[in-house]
Structures are given as structure tokens and as C-alpha cells.
Amino acid sequence: MDIDAIRKAYRRYARRYDFYFGALLQPGRRAVIAHMRCRAGERILEVGVGTGLSLPLYPPHVQVTGIDISPEMLTRAKARRERERLRQVVALEQMDAEHMLFADDSFDKVVAMYVASVVPHPARLVDEMRRVCRPDGDLYVVNHFHHGGTLVGRLERRIAPLSRLMGFRPDLSCDDFIRDSRLEVIERIPVNLFGYWTLLRARNNKPAAGANDRHQTPRV
């Protein structure tokens, strides 16, 4: 997977995306937002927001920023925001989730819905989510992961060489993803049809800014 292949795939998908992946993946989107237990005024970042299918699900008292690499997907998200008058959506920007332009600690909660197996470097995605989220904030990932050792898992391996064309990698292992990204997972919840997708709720385990300096300050 590389950024050009991803952009091309989602340029192709954009027009029909909601038809194929709207209702099918909506229970997972609902589950993430329910688990977020959003409080008034919280700043939420959704990376890979796509056509914005999740946006109407956020409560009106939060501030949601969405980013995506695909201009065609974002155009649809912006149209949805206007059409449905979603005042909680404060910004929709074209940006690479692996190299975000936001300052450290800009958000209280950061979420990636069906994005981890799309980006070229899933661990770098999580590093960036961690960086822009405040220490002790919450990170959420909902994704399809490889079903190793099952018939479905064998099929996923067989179609893996088509990843560039499909715009996602069907054989990303959940355990590898958690290990490589050093996510501090608090809960793993099966979601969507047959529980075939997984919601990961994690704590942002980065140290607070200056915490290391404090430790190093010699006592007098």
C-alpha cells in the first residue's frame, strides 16, 4: 500500500462508498461513539473520516475535526455536514494521518474507523494519533483484522496481493498491530456482522510534556 494507490482507490470508491460500506459498517461506528462517552466541549479528531458517515452520530456538544487523504471522499463529508447542519463538525481537512499538521496534545480523543488496514504504516498512524492526543486521553480503533487459522482467514491471505487495488489490506493481524503500535488496549469488542470487525479502546500512554524533564531535575 502506498499513498498514491490509496488516493486512486478512494477516488474510485467515493461515489458508491456509502452504498457498499454505509449500513454494513454503521454498527461499528455507532459502537465506537457510544464507547467514547463524549463530554461537553471535548475535542475529537477522526482520522480517515471518509464520506463522513459517522459525523451525524456525534452529540452536538463536542467539537469534531475530520481529516482524510482523499479529496473526493472529503467533498462528500463536507456536503453531509452542510446538508445535515452538523454544527459539532468544526473542521474537515485534507491531511495525511501519518504526518499530521496538528500540534501535540490538540485533542481529547482520537479515533480511526476502518483506516488501520488502509494506511501504508499502521504503527506510524498510531504514533501520530498518540502525539496529537493529550496524555491520558483516549484512542479508538475499529477495524477488520485477519482471522488466522479459519477458512475466512485463508481467503483473506489469498486476496492480500490485491491490496493496492482494493484499497485495504485484508491480512492485518490484530496482535501484530497492537504489538507494533504499542497500543495500551483496555477493551477489545467484536462489532458489526458476526462480530467480524474489532473495536479497540486504548489509553493514550504517552508521558505528559515535561514529565521526563521533571524526573531528570536534580534535587537540591
Residues that bind ligand SAM (CB under 6 A): 6, 10, 21, 25, 29, 47-50, 53-54, 67-70, 73, 96-98, 113-115, 118-119
How far apart are CB 30 and ligand SAM at their closest, in Å?
11
Q: Which is nearer to ligand SAM, 36 or 67 (CB)?
A: 67
Q: Which is nearer to ligand SAM, 121 or 207 (CB)?
A: 121
One-letter identity of residue 119: V
How far apart are CB 186 and ligand SAM at their closest, in Å?
21
How far apart are CB 217 and ligand SAM at their closest, in Å?
38
Measure the CA–CA gap between 27 and 191, rounded to whole angstroms. 7
Q: Which is nearer to ligand SAM, 14 or 178 (CB)?
A: 14
Measure the CA–CA gap between 54 and 20, rounded to whole angstroms. 15
- Position with the least CB separation from ligand SAM: 50
How far apart are CB 21 and ligand SAM at their closest, in Å?
6
Q: Which is nearer to ligand SAM, 6 or 129 (CB)?
A: 6
How far apart are CB 98 and ligand SAM at their closest, in Å?
5
Measure the CA–CA gap between 62 and 69, rounded to whole angstroms. 23
Measure the CA–CA gap between 50 and 152, rounded to whole angstroms. 26
| Joined grid coordinates for residue 206 | 504517552
The alpha carbons of the chain give a radius of gyration, in whole angstroms, of 18
Strand partners, 68: 94
Q: Which is nearer to ligand SAM, 195 or 218 (CB)?
A: 195
Measure the CA–CA gap between 197 and 115, rounded to whole angstroms. 12
